[in-house]
Amino acid sequence: MDRLAGQIAATHGRLHPAAEPFARHMLDVGDGHQIYVEESGNPEGRPVIVLHGGPGGGCSPFMRRFFDPTHYRAILFDQRGCGRSRPQASVLANTTHHLIADIEAIRRRLGLDAMLLFGGSWGATLALAYAQAHPDRVSGLVLRGVFLGTQGELDWFYGGGAGRFFPDLWARFRDPIPQSEQDNLIAAYHRRLFDDDPGRQGRYAQPWLMWENALAGLQSSGAAHAPADYARAFARLENHYFLNRCFLDEGQLLRDRHRIEHLPAVIVQGRYDMVCPPLSAWRLAEGWEGCDLRLIPASGHALSEPRISAELVRVMDDIRDRRAMAQV
């Protein structure tokens, strides 16, 4: 989950200056996939891997600005099938396990040892999955808008739970689907997003994307259409992952939390996040001694929410100054 809802002005002064990457790579990870990777900041700095949302969202130059470029070596990449990675919108050989392997390939290609993981929404899911698979290669986690990939979370967002708060927007998402198929909207959209007709794919990609985008921030309207190629890639990839329950066992990320409980973590969670409600963040943090859960008032889900952005910059600056994750 999570689409970056544009650049923000309210936190402009709190973000670090915009910086161009000092290196860009197209990494062949097999299965016909090439993934786009970029590095910005200090080439000798502390490495931090940035995991974007979606699945399918892609990274943005805005994401570089959470990291002091004199201290951090910020590594952004577009996950399989999205952004500048190729082939676009492809779901072949595209699972959570493949993405974990891609992060490992990036780590090896760039000669990294232990890395900070910085991810929000689906990016938080992937950060947890990677850390649990390779705990010795992670020095800490900074998570935002936690999504654990459970059926309950999918039911909340695609089964009518969130729709009780936004009945007008829910109707706009639900009504393109015949009533006979509305008991499983993920499956119904899947049949259309993976239709042989690209035009039909595009027509159903927009309402899929607009439903999530409308709920991402407290001030979101979701009225604007996204570029067709972006909408198609985002909707197809996200739907593919959600139809397959994120390629995780039910409750896996909580079940396997013990594998990473020695690591420090900070969670920045919007109090009024309607896409990924705070209960998931609470469950993840509860009993994890090294986890600092920060519930942010008057804030929703999006990375572009002003208080969310400001808090994430504060967290990364505190890690730089050893005021957070002091043991790292």
Indicate if 165 and 104 belong to the same structural domain. no
Indicate if 77 and 211 belong to the same structural domain. no
pLDDT confidence tier of residue 7, bands split at 50, 70 and 90? very low
Residue 319 has pLDDT above 60, yes or no: yes
What average pLDDT does the chain have? 94
Is the distance from CB of 92 to CB of 237 less than 8 angstroms?
no
Instruction: Tell me the two tokens of residue 302.
Output: 């999006």
28-to-32, 34, 109, 116, 322 alpha-carbon distances in Å: 8, 4, 11, 23, 36
Indicate if 62 and 129 belong to the same structural domain. yes
CA nearest to 252, candidates 135, 101, 157, 149: 149
- Quote the number of domains for the chain: 2
Question: pLDDT digit string (tens) for 68-124?
Answer: 999 999 999 999 999 999 999 999 999 999 999 999 999 999 999 999 999 999 999
Indicate if 106 and 214 belong to the same structural domain. no
Across 10-39, average pLDDT: 90
Is the distance from CB of 237 to CB of 230 less than 8 angstroms?
no
Indicate if 280 and 240 belong to the same structural domain. no
Indicate if 141 and 279 belong to the same structural domain. yes
Indicate if 252 and 109 belong to the same structural domain. yes
Catalytic residue among 121, 280, 304, 309: 121
pTM, two decimals, is: 0.95
Which pLDDT does position 8 carry in this prediction? 42
Across 134-141, average pLDDT: 98
Name the strand (E) or helix (H) holding 27.
Answer: strand 23-30
Across 295-318, average pLDDT: 97
Catalytic residue among 60, 90, 301, 309: 301
* Residue ranges in the chain assigned as alpha helix (H): 96-110, 122-133, 151-158, 167-174, 185-193, 198-215, 228-243, 252-255, 279-285, 306-320
Which pLDDT does position 13 carry in this prediction? 54
Q: Last residue of a domain, which of 188, 221, 246?
A: 246
Cis upstream peptide for 17 (omega within 30°)? no
Q: Is residue 182 part of a domain?
A: yes
Catalytic residue among 2, 78, 102, 273: 273
Indicate if 21 and 145 belong to the same structural domain. yes
Q: Is residue 91 part of a domain?
A: yes
Which pLDDT does position 1 carry in this prediction? 77
Does 103 or 10 have the greater pLDDT score? 103
Q: Last residue of a domain, which of 212, 246, 280?
A: 246
Q: Tell me if residue 71 is catalytic.
A: no
Q: Is residue 5 part of a domain?
A: no
Across 11-28, average pLDDT: 88
Indicate if 255 and 143 belong to the same structural domain. yes
By mean pLDDT, which of 1-15, 131-145, 146-160, 268-282 is the weakest? 1-15
Q: Is residue 84 part of a domain?
A: yes
Q: Is residue 139 part of a domain?
A: yes
Q: Is residue 327 part of a domain?
A: no
Computed over its alpha carbons, how large is the radius of gyration of the chain? 18
Indicate if 263 and 115 belong to the same structural domain. yes
Q: Last residue of a domain, which of 246, 281, 308?
A: 246
Which pLDDT does position 325 carry in this prediction? 74
Across 145-162, average pLDDT: 98
Across 140-168, average pLDDT: 98
Cα 313 to its chain centre, rounded Å, is 17
Which pLDDT does position 324 carry in this prediction? 73
Which pLDDT does position 41 carry in this prediction? 98
pLDDT confidence tier of residue 9, bands split at 50, 70 and 90? very low
Residue 10 has pLDDT above 60, yes or no: no
Q: Note down the domain range covering 166.
A: 154-246
Q: Tell me if residue 301 is catalytic.
A: yes
CA nearest to 123, candidates 307, 318, 328, 302: 302
pLDDT confidence tier of residue 5, bands split at 50, 70 and 90? very low
Q: Is residue 328 part of a domain?
A: no
Which pLDDT does position 326 carry in this prediction? 57
Instruction: Tell me the two tokens of residue 221.
Output: 């309207």
Indicate if 227 and 302 belong to the same structural domain. no
CATH of the domain at 288: 3.40.50.1820
Q: Is residue 7 part of a domain?
A: no
Q: Tell me if residue 273 is catalytic.
A: yes
Indicate if 54 and 182 belong to the same structural domain. no
CA nearest to 208, candidates 191, 290, 85: 191
